[in-house]
Amino acid sequence: MTEYDAPLRDMQFVIEELVGLSEVAALPGHEDLTSDTVRAILEEAAKFGREVLSPINRSGDIEGSRLENGVVVTPKGFKEAYKAYVDGGWNTLQFEPELGGQGLPMLVSTPVFEMWDSANLGFALCPVLSIAGAEMLEKYGTDEQKEKWIPKLVSGEWTGTMVLTEPGAGSDVGALKTRAVPEGNHYRISGQKIFTTWGEHDFTENIVHMVLARTPDAPPGTRGISLFIVPKFMVNDDGTLGPRNDLRPVSLEHKLGIHASPTCVMQFGENEGAIGYLVGEECRGMQYMFSMMNNARLAVGREGVGIATRAYQQAASYARERIQGRDAVNPGAGQVAIIRHPDVRRNLMTMRTLTEAARALGYYVAAQLDVARKHPDAETRAQAQARVDLLVPVVKAWSTDCGVTVASIGVQVHGGAGFIEETGAAQHYRDSRITPIYEGTNGIQAIDLVTRKIIGDGGQSVALLIEEMADTEIPDSRIEAPFLQTLADLKQATSYFVDPPTDDPRAALAGATPYLTALGTITGCWLMARSAAIASDKLANGAGDDAPFYEAKITSARFYADTFCPQASASLATAMSGSADLMALADEAF
């Protein structure tokens, strides 16, 4: 397995030239942010990923976490890596200074955490939910809860989890049965939860679980769900740790990938019941949890980019070194590296351009989120938030699908060696496969996009995006022609959902996934086209040593438009095909 080398030049390009660091730096609280500061942060993060996290990625996959006498033991080097992570202040990047954070925008923290995802996805999964939990409590917690739990989550001294899923209630969260019985100023929690990421470990002395449960008189379904803070150890008034709470890991899931990350079956309340503290009001837990889930969905989309980057680097390195076959143009020159073969090159270009497009989309949405949070004008904030709401399911689903595709192609580039664990390509594929399932499967993301974000607002939000994309000046005709064609197809498909030609209630559900795929692909092409326009301008004005980088940007955008715009149009045709063929067979025929 090759070690991770952060793509700093591409990250800097997207941050500074494509998305626009200057606009984010102009927001209140970010006035002191400069390109030099951002570059210094990225360089230090790259060093941490390369020197600390990447070297234990493969060994962590082999060793895995294990449960011994009720205690989860993480792989060798992971506990020390987490201490270095906390000591370096990395967990505090995006939190406001009054919470003990560094106050950096999402546009800066996103590429930093992408590096952790690339270098060691199993490790990187741990901080994600701690950050999401702290942000949720800042929004919905009481003053006492904020004071008690947030500082330790921000610093990384404690970690957090998001505890939703039960054996009989997977994506149908409303079917959960974990109970919360009021008792004085707290509740007693009892029930079993599964698929709890980093639910138990040896990194920190305490773990703060955010648990969904149902109070005794709550209505059925999601309307009756409440959210509770349930710590591993109770916390005294002076901040010291008290007795162990009534919860424990029953077992660790045996998974396809991310072996270093302990995915726990958690039992709450085997004895008197685990003590939990209500967040906000009863029966509003899903609303509060969604604030965590939306943060986590952006993070999972970023994980797709991270694993794609690692898989691409591995495949490109192998293709440059693997000698096999003869060059089609000059077969008499002897054997050449496989990177000279057109089919291998097509694979590499597919990997490269999907990764670049997904990275650009993720950073673009991160910047929009910064604007939504901090812009002084209320209307501008609202417009940015609407764009974020529209694209969150796309970032999560499309980017993770890209990650799986890129990792799979990476195995293919290696040929038979890719199917052998020792090369490392298989680990990237195995690790990537969880991301389309995390935080609401990609099918659920697609349904959310079409039913709530498209049909729900009469197509207004996506219409504004389409209008902005259509108004973008694209000087390269090789990119402009396929892009404008597929953009017209997107407009037609959107009309199909907003004003359907059929009264079939399943038609929108049947077309949701291909529509999301197309929207992600087209938005990615828009950002690639803008990148090519910037590159052309730079080259026209003398790019110096950066000329090869900008030339590659133009080539990537052309390849992407030629390859993926036709695929997006085909997906949109499928999206409008209705549900008849999908539902025609009897259940027993499958």
Q: Is residue 131 part of a domain?
A: yes
Q: Which amino acid is at 419?
A: F
419-448 per-residue burial string, b: 16 or more CB within 10 A, e: under 16: eeeebbbbbbbbbbbbbbbbbbbbbbbbbb
How many structural domains comprise the chain? 3
Are residues 117 and 175 both part of a single domain? no
Q: Is residue 17 part of a domain?
A: yes
Average pLDDT over residues 343-370: 98
Q: Is residue 329 part of a domain?
A: no
- Whether the pLDDT of residue 564 is over 90: the answer is yes
Per-residue model confidence (pLDDT) at position 193: 96
Domain around 272: 159-284
* pLDDT per residue as tens digits for the range 440-461: 999 999 999 999 999 999 999 9
* pLDDT per residue as tens digits for the range 131-167: 999 999 999 999 999 999 999 999 999 999 999 999 8
Average pLDDT over residues 499-520: 96
Per-residue model confidence (pLDDT) at position 543: 87
119-146 per-residue burial string, b: 16 or more CB within 10 A, e: under 16: bbbbbbbbbbbbbbbbbbbbebbeeebb
Are residues 133 and 167 both part of a single domain? no
Distance of CA 93 to the CA centre of its chain: 17
Per-residue model confidence (pLDDT) at position 368: 97
Phi, psi at residue 448, to the nearest 5°?
Answer: -60, -45
* pLDDT per residue as tens digits for the range 261-283: 999 999 999 999 999 999 999 99
- Whether the pLDDT of residue 168 is over 90: the answer is no
- Whether the pLDDT of residue 373 is over 80: the answer is yes
* pLDDT per residue as tens digits for the range 44-67: 999 999 999 999 999 999 999 999
Lowest-pLDDT range, 41-55, 281-295, 421-435, 537-551? 281-295
The CA distance from 106 to 19, in Å, is 12
Are residues 117 and 29 both part of a single domain? yes
* Residues designated as active site: 439
Contacts of 407 (CB under 8 A, 6+ apart): 307, 308, 311, 425, 428, 429, 431, 432
Global pTM reads 0.96
- Whether the pLDDT of residue 291 is over 90: the answer is no
Are residues 21 and 165 both part of a single domain? no
CATH number at residue 60: 1.10.540.10
Chosen domain end from 135, 155, 175: 155
- Whether the pLDDT of residue 514 is over 80: the answer is yes
- Whether the pLDDT of residue 34 is over 80: the answer is yes
Are residues 487 and 503 both part of a single domain? yes
Are residues 146 and 179 both part of a single domain? no
Chosen domain end from 155, 190, 222: 155
- Whether the pLDDT of residue 502 is over 90: the answer is no
Per-residue model confidence (pLDDT) at position 174: 76
CATH number at residue 218: 2.40.110.20
Per-residue model confidence (pLDDT) at position 175: 81
Q: Is residue 465 part of a domain?
A: yes
Q: Is residue 464 part of a domain?
A: yes
- Residue written as tokens 């901040």? 239
**Residue 89 region, left (φ>0) first, then alpha (ψ -120 to 50), else beta?**
left
Average pLDDT over residues 350-360: 98
Contacts of 545 (CB under 8 A, 6+ apart): none
Are residues 125 and 197 both part of a single domain? no
- 189 bridge partner residues: 180, 274
Q: Is residue 557 part of a domain?
A: yes
Per-residue model confidence (pLDDT) at position 400: 98
Q: Look over the chain and give the mean of its residue pLDDT values, rounded to a whole number.
A: 96
The CA distance from 374 to 381, in Å, is 7
Distances (CA, A) of 368 to 106, 155, 454, 471: 9, 26, 19, 19
Residues of the chain with pLDDT > 70, as a percent, come to: 100
Chosen domain end from 238, 269, 284: 284
Are residues 111 and 199 both part of a single domain? no
Per-residue model confidence (pLDDT) at position 508: 96
Are residues 483 and 567 both part of a single domain? yes
Q: Which amino acid is at 285?
A: G
Q: Which amino acid is at 38?
A: V
Per-residue model confidence (pLDDT) at position 171: 72
- Which DSSP helix (H) or strand (E) runs through 45? helix 35-48
* pLDDT per residue as tens digits for the range 172-204: 777 899 999 999 999 999 999 999 999 999 999
Per-residue model confidence (pLDDT) at position 293: 77
**Structure confidence at residue 294 as a pLDDT band (50, 70, 90):** confident
Q: Is residue 386 part of a domain?
A: no
- Whether the pLDDT of residue 91 is over 90: the answer is yes
